[in-house]
Chain A
Amino acid sequence: DAGVIQSPRHEVTEMGQEVTLRCKPISGHDYLFWYRQTMMRGLELLIYFNNNVPIDDSGMPEDRFSAKMPNASFSTLKIQPSEPRDSAVYFCATQDGGKTLHFGNGTRLTVT
């Protein structure tokens, strides 16, 4: 299994631009989580899905952030418009209903 696949690995964009981060979960995993990591705030849970349905989005910081999971093999996290304070590493993680979260390698976002 290739594990959780995130793309791109690095993204540099200018303030005000739209950013889309992508995640391909491990096949058969029906839970998907998006986390954000910064030096100041550590690892923060943004949102999670079960069977493609958003269950808890209480960690999404603002309306500029949105996440979708159109099918079991793909999820996106979109920031529109992006701001410098959104610079962070964004992780996607998936779980098969057991107790183990499998993380991707993250997308490092820099907004200038």
Chain B
Amino acid sequence: NAGVTQTPKFQVLKTGQSMTLQCAQDMNHEYMSWYRQDPGMGLRLIHYSVGAGITDQGEVPNGYNVSRSTTEDFPLRLLSAAPSQTSVYFCASSPRDLSSPLHFGNGTRLTVT
């Protein structure tokens, strides 16, 4: 069972470069989300989606774009990378249900120099 697959695992960018973090799930989950994790701040929600074609902003959306063209995929785009975006990024999915826990990918460690 693949679950939630994130790629790449590690990435180094220069300031101003753009890139896309990939996220795919094979559990037919309607809900998908992206978080960033910084020391002492827990996980903060960047963007989320409650179904294909629907996306919305979370707590810290600036500098990031998402799209949800299929149920399975939820890519996160960094438009012009900044050092403040150095972080660990997690993708997570679940059924659209308040009682369902999120299933997390293994994370992407991004460094912007």
Report if A and B associate in a common complex. no
Mark A residues whose CB is within 8 Å of B: none
